[in-house]
Amino acid sequence: MSGKSHTICKVCAAFYYWHHMDKMRFFMVMMGVRASKNELTIPKEFANNVRGKISDEIKLEVPDGQTYRVQVDKEPNEVVLRSGWDAFVSAYELKEGDTLLFAYTGNSHLKVQIFNVSGCDKLLSCVMKNNPMRSPRESMKKLCTVCLECVDRHYWHMKDHDWCFVKVMSLSNFKDEMAIPDEFTTNFRGHISDKVKLEVADGNIYNVQVAKEQDKFILRSGWVDFTGVYELQQYDSLFFIYSGDSHFKVRILKPSGCEKASSCVTMSRGPNVQERVICHALSLPSIKRCRNDNWTDNSKTAKVTPTDSPSQKSSSEMNTQDVTSSKYIPEPRSSGGLPGSTESRYILEKGCILTSAQKARVDTFVKESWTGIQFYVTVMNEKSLSDGCLVICKDFAAKHLPHKDQTIKLCYPQNSKTWDANLAVITDGACTRSCILAAGWLDFVRDNNLREGDICAFEVSKDHDRVIITVHLLKNVVVTGHTKSTSQQQKKWTHPGYVVTKYTKLTCKQKRKIEERIQAIRPETRIFVSIIYSSRAKLSIEVRYATAHLPREEQWVRLQLPGKNHTWKAKLYIGDKDKGKCYALQTGWKKFVDDNKLQDDDMCLFELLKNEELTMNVHIIRGD
């Protein structure tokens, strides 16, 4: 695989992980101000992706059955656990060096595993308590009055328990070998053979030899292949779950604390990986697709015995299994709903909720345009407009799209122009989970001036064995003017957040001022913040903001101060238009700066208004 395609795969994997995985994980080590006795700051990457999904209070569930409620403070660029966190720390006697693994399961609920400095489970977090009012240590004393050694022995002989340990890749030779923690080795000596299986979340399984030297178990032969495929770096953390029969499930997390997305989604595989051919029950409608790319009916899926595994088959048999027929796209089937209803004629993007007005528009379009082929319907948001990827959910992908990665064409109805886009097929190691439109999608977005709130209905067809997706665009209806109605004013306001340029570093005082102003103006869309420096002939605009909110063609922007009648015009400049890498306000911007006497360290908050003409309110915060 070339470096370019590998990069695309990583982007697709990350996009799929944050939008479609049932569980997302991060870990924190009790050390420093970011994980102290008083508060815990969630890793930035994780916080940015779940900020809108969690409430102001979350639940922490520990293996001992206890649940703790902790208050969440959502600061502009951080999400921090505060009120209630100290009680959690105290209950489990967390100390510096202890490691916590968090798994987000939805509904503001986090499952927490706690590991001591040796890397093994902390016993205080694994003892089931009959009285939820007792602390873990009190429960342990109640359980056994002799000593904690009895609890220790009980833990290592628990039935149906997942024994875990964590290893940080901190040693210089971590790519050559890895030693299993002594505490784990001591308790499982005699139960682990000379070869272990490492099963990663992407479904791949690796055979690694175990060298038993004195009192240590060391992973050696095969370990180099494992670290190479997942590109393990120094200070990556690996969480091992022992499931018996010398078999470990492995989760891989980056030094930042977040899970390595490429280890959770099957995008490609190395030459030394065992492939799993057992299909998991993914509740695909009517049909499902297995690793051998055969389409099978759910009711006819046969169980696979150990002798049917790839490791037991000849290379010729394996090659026969992996033959993919890219020419076959199954006939469309109903996604549900009453026969003849519009719901059976389109599949809605996972997690997408249409307003009553949007649903009415989609229903009308589908009735008028129905040709017997199901549509895929999605509403454009900031991520789909700026990330360069668009996920197509498994319900649609499994029924209407090809089985393997390829280049497809995007087009408009009755329009001769087409756009090439890479279609990446995502699996979980056995069956199709979704498809992702990657390279080429952003070109389509920019060239057709797609905006937030636009509805896209995708229709799949074929031309000479080439897949074509016709995109029917239902543009978002924008109300002229920016005066809010009474009903809009009474509606609960949601903080839209703000964006600064890539190289801007805000002080705590600047962040506080920006937050106070946003709370005062209560904007409906995300704010762009720029700090005035010595060069005032132009103003650079952050690409992420411009891609999501501004036009793809150069034009004049009307600037105005809130509550003032006077306006200024500045030219929106787009450099390197094909890639959209440079956005700036140029001609006319200096006059705005001079007329408003902007000085170094003054801050401008740009609020995009919903007018027919491109108009922005500019809120000025004077520097000290």
Whether 533 and 442 map to the same domain: the answer is no
Given pLDDT bands bounded at 50, 70 and 90, which one contains residue 95? Answer: confident
Given pLDDT bands bounded at 50, 70 and 90, which one contains residue 562? Answer: confident
Separation CA 554–CA 502 (nearest Å): 22
Whether 386 and 351 map to the same domain: the answer is yes
Whether 52 and 123 map to the same domain: the answer is yes
Percent residues over pLDDT 70 in the chain: 73
Least confident of 30-34, 111-115, 519-523: 30-34
Decide which of 217, 233, 264 is a domain's last residue. 264
Higher pLDDT, 237 or 356: 237
Contact 499, 360 (CB under 8 A): no
Whether 459 and 523 map to the same domain: the answer is no
Look at residue 420 and give its three-state secondary structure.
Answer: strand
Given pLDDT bands bounded at 50, 70 and 90, which one contains residue 477? Answer: low
Q: Is the pLDDT of residue 131 over 70?
A: no
Whether 123 and 237 map to the same domain: the answer is no
Q: Is the pLDDT of residue 328 over 80?
A: no
Percent residues over pLDDT 90 in the chain: 18
Average pLDDT over residues 363-374: 82
Contact 593, 536 (CB under 8 A): yes
Average pLDDT over residues 40-62: 86
Given pLDDT bands bounded at 50, 70 and 90, which one contains residue 114? Answer: very high
Q: Is the pLDDT of residue 386 over 90?
A: no
Separation CA 281–CA 261 (nearest Å): 22
pLDDT given at position 199: 92
pLDDT given at position 558: 93
pLDDT given at position 358: 85
pLDDT given at position 157: 59
Least confident of 8-17, 380-389, 426-435, 442-451: 426-435
Flag whether 296 is in a domain. no
pLDDT digits (tens, 9 = 90+) for 218-259: 999 999 999 998 989 888 999 999 888 889 999 999 988 889
Least confident of 7-11, 126-130, 187-191, 321-325: 321-325
Q: Is the pLDDT of residue 568 over 80?
A: yes
CA 576 to chain centre: 29
Whether 80 and 155 map to the same domain: the answer is yes
Domain span including residue 81: 22-160
pLDDT given at position 492: 57
Whether 172 and 146 map to the same domain: the answer is no
Whether 465 and 509 map to the same domain: the answer is no
Phi and psi angles of residue 90, each rounded to the nearest 5 degrees, phi first: -65, -40
pLDDT digits (tens, 9 = 90+) for 193-225: 889 999 998 888 999 999 988 778 999 999 999
Q: Is the pLDDT of residue 559 over 90?
A: yes
pLDDT given at position 427: 64
Q: Which helix (H) or strand (E) holds 155?
A: helix 148-156
Q: Is the pLDDT of residue 155 over 90?
A: no
Flag whether 282 is in a domain. no
Contact 140, 189 (CB under 8 A): no
Whether 97 and 201 map to the same domain: the answer is no
Whether 247 and 354 map to the same domain: the answer is no
Flag whether 285 is in a domain. no
261: DSSP letter? G
Of 584, 600, 524, the C-alpha closest to 550 is 584
Flag whether 311 is in a domain. no
Separation CA 197–CA 22 (nearest Å): 24
Decide which of 204, 235, 264 is a domain's last residue. 264
Contact 31, 96 (CB under 8 A): yes
Q: What is the DSSP string of 348-402?
A: EPTT----HHHHHHHHHHHHHH--SS-EEEEE--HHHHHSS-EEEEHHHHHHHS-
Least confident of 34-43, 170-179, 283-292, 506-515: 283-292
Flag whether 601 is in a domain. yes
Average pLDDT along the chain: 75
Q: For residue 581, what is the domain's CATH number?
A: 2.40.330.10
Flag whether 307 is in a domain. no
For 445, residues 6+ apart whose C-beta sits below 8 A from its C-beta are 380, 384, 385
For the chain, the domain total comes to 4
pLDDT given at position 248: 92
Least confident of 48-52, 296-300, 523-527: 296-300
Separation CA 232–CA 407 (nearest Å): 30
Q: How many residues does the chain have?
A: 624
Phi and psi angles of residue 18, each rounded to the nearest 5 degrees, phi first: -75, -20
Given pLDDT bands bounded at 50, 70 and 90, which one contains residue 433? Answer: low
What are 204's two structure tokens?
A: 């791949």
pLDDT given at position 243: 83
Average pLDDT over residues 136-163: 55
Flag whether 304 is in a domain. no
Residues pairing with 381 in the sheet: none
pLDDT digits (tens, 9 = 90+) for 249-285: 999 999 888 898 888 876 544 444 443 322 222 332 3
Question: How many Cβ atoms sit within 10 Å of the Cβ of residue 600?
Answer: 10
Q: Is the pLDDT of residue 528 over 50?
A: yes
Separation CA 169–CA 171 (nearest Å): 6
428 to 13, 206, 280, 322, 330: CA distances (angstroms):
11, 16, 9, 16, 21
Q: Is the pLDDT of residue 306 over 80?
A: no
Whether 38 and 147 map to the same domain: the answer is yes
Separation CA 520–CA 360 (nearest Å): 35
Flag whether 366 is in a domain. yes
What are 311's two structure tokens?
A: 């490791």
Decide which of 103, 129, 160 is a domain's last residue. 160
For 595, residues 6+ apart whose C-beta sits below 8 A from its C-beta are 568
Average pLDDT over residues 478-486: 43
Whether 138 and 28 map to the same domain: the answer is yes
Residues pairing with 294 in the sheet: none
